[in-house]
Structure 1
Amino acid sequence: MTSTLFLRCVALPDHERRQAVARWQREGHPVRLSQPSPQARFIAFQAQGCHGSWQGMIGAREWLQAVGPQWSQWLHQEGADQEILELFSAVSRPIEIAPDLLDYQRLFEFRLIQGEALQEACLPCIGTPQSDLWVMEGPSQRKEPSRPLQAWLQAVPQALRIVLGNSELARLPSRQLAKGDVLVIAEQTRQLFMADLCIGQFTFVKEGLHMQLTPPDNPSPSAPCVLSELPVKLEFVLGELTLSMATLNEFIEGQVLPLEATVASNVEVRVGGKCIAVGELVQLGDRLGVELREVGQGMGNE
């Protein structure tokens, strides 16, 4: 008997757009998902900023009405959209955007597109003084701002490795180690490691060890603790079964372990053996993902 686990497919572009809108909203920006009108014509462009390149578009006629209402007679002339495109591309900064939302030093590769060509896509929409701006593709090199440790993350166990130093076996008197040998620590590093990353150093004091954490790059009064930069290993658990050895042997011989129909809807996300969230197993492009449905008590929603 064979069975197939059918997973709900999540389109990767849609997922990335929802994540971008959620991130901007957390940062306090009035961004929403919106579907551009299929009847409108838009000026699409590439932008280059400090976070890399991104793609956007803005309604051609809406932009002209906002920046030059005295030129509104153009809107009734044949070929008006092309003239608006040329005017838009000639202005050094045709759109005003909050720099901490989206920045750009220059715009290029201007073109006109019809709304119906977007196939009813919902795009991140930003209100600007000129008109609504739709983000077709987000910044290519955007870096998430560092934030303090969340309450749930503070409870995650991490092993602190206290390393005195190192030596090379080739430099020892003999590679054959025996009881009573004394190994010399050739290089005393006195480093502290968590998650296989060096987080600082230590010195010996009367009370024990004095730890000195490595400061973050470009430290400032508002810089986060270095521990907030540590990677956290997530474990995705599809299920757990308590089986006798006899039952387990039957499964091994048959090579098929039957699963409950609801198992894909209740995948646990664990950190250090602790369940921090529950979600549904989905197909995200060509990869598997877990779409969170529940986040444990005291844990921040992301």
Structure 2
Amino acid sequence: MTRTPLLRQVPALHYQRRQAVARWLRDGHPVQLGRAPRQGRYISFHAQGRQGLWQGLIDSDQWLQAIWPQWSQLLGRSFVENNLFELFSLLQRPLQLPPQVLDYQHLFDVQSVDGAALEAADLPCIQTALGPCWVLGLPTDIAWQPQPLQPWTRCLQQTLRVVLGETALSPLQLRRLAEGDVLMIAEQTCQLWLAGRRIGQFTFIEEGLQMELTPEEVTSDLAECALSPLPVTLQFVLAELTLSMAQLNDFIEHQVLPLDAQALQQVEVRVGEQCIAVGELVRLDEQLGLELREVFRGPGNE
């Protein structure tokens, strides 16, 4: 039986909220991660927007004070409490959200929520002109804007495969191959492959190979070059052990290799031989993952 080490559990919902805030901040939007105060009353609602369905929460007193500062002088609190949600539902745009962060076409399922009943969890909080808006449920189809290549990524190396062509053989023909046989190239493709994708073709010239790149069309204006969408293979290195040839020669099945006590907190992420990040091995739901502690972006590119 394979034994999995005891790992710190990362709740999937908390991870999604934290990642959403990090991406919004990266794009320069006024969003933070925090807890809604447990005092007072809130308006809870569901919203349908271009990015899908999401759920929000606003402080009812702050919202009313922002849209109607004179309400306390003109109306009693009991009247406001009885009609607040009707007012919220009747307004065409009761919320003023940055459209690059979240949007909505209509709101529904508007309810009153006591602050004491709120979950004790950090939530994405969007600062608006009508007070903070906490996001209880992220949009179902949220899509993040792709970012241009950062300078440090240009140092990462990829392996270019130059493929002459292809030939199909039956299993019997494969078994009969022997030294001195000449394998004919049935189909000369002359293709260039990078990161598991065909990026172009080549022709032979006197100086060597002349490349003609024919990558997939890049639809994003943020892409700095045609090759930027190509994937990069990451390796997760748990440990590196220096062993002698005698130790390698003595390897047997089920042998136990020593592992440093801090190895699970210092797993390296590598591209080729280059370490680009270090993190802690965690469990996200039922999957193993790496919570990054350091990302090495190179000097001046934090």
The two structures have a TM-score, normalised by structure 2, of 0.81
Indicate conservation of the 8 Å contact 2:202/2:212, yes or no: yes
CA 1:112 to 1:213, structure 2 compared with 1: closer, same or farther past 3 Å? farther
Aligned residue in 1 for 2:173: none
Indicate conservation of the 8 Å contact 1:236/1:269, yes or no: yes
Aligned residue in 2 for 1:152: 152
Indicate conservation of the 8 Å contact 2:52/2:141, yes or no: yes
In structure 2, C-alpha distance between the alignment counterparts of 1:10 and 1:113, rounded to whole Å: 27
CA 1:223 to 1:8, structure 2 compared with 1: closer, same or farther past 3 Å? closer
In structure 2, C-alpha distance between the alignment counterparts of 1:258 and 1:23, rounded to whole Å: 39
Amino acid at match of 1:224: E
Aligned residue in 2 for 1:211: 212
Indicate conservation of the 8 Å contact 1:61/1:84, yes or no: no
Aligned residue in 2 for 1:258: 258
Aligned residue in 2 for 1:16: 16
In structure 1, C-alpha distance between the alignment counterparts of 2:277 and 2:296, rounded to whole Å: 6
In structure 2, C-alpha distance between the alignment counterparts of 1:181 and 1:266, rounded to whole Å: 48
CA-to-aligned-CA distance 1:36-65 (integer Å, 9 cap, x gap): 111222222222222222221111222122
Aligned pairs for 1:53-202 within 5 A = 53-72=53-72, 73-74=74-75, 76-77=77-78, 80-163=80-163, 179-180=181-182, 182-185=184-187, 191-202=191-202
Aligned residue in 1 for 2:41: 41
- Give 1:280 shift: 1.8
Aligned residue in 2 for 1:231: 231
Gaps of 5+ in 1: 171-175
Amino acid at match of 2:10: V
**RMSD across aligned C-alpha pairs, in angstroms?**
3.2
Gaps of 5+ in 2: 171-175
In structure 1, C-alpha distance between the alignment counterparts of 2:248 and 2:162, rounded to whole Å: 41
In structure 2, C-alpha distance between the alignment counterparts of 1:46 and 1:275, rounded to whole Å: 43
SS in 1 for 2:107: strand
CA 1:205 to 1:114, structure 2 compared with 1: closer, same or farther past 3 Å? farther
In structure 2, C-alpha distance between the alignment counterparts of 1:260 and 1:286, rounded to whole Å: 25
CA 1:292 to 1:16, structure 2 compared with 1: closer, same or farther past 3 Å? same
Indicate conservation of the 8 Å contact 1:31/1:126, yes or no: yes
Indicate conservation of the 8 Å contact 2:215/2:227, yes or no: no
The two structures have a TM-score, normalised by structure 1, of 0.81
Indicate conservation of the 8 Å contact 1:281/1:288, yes or no: yes
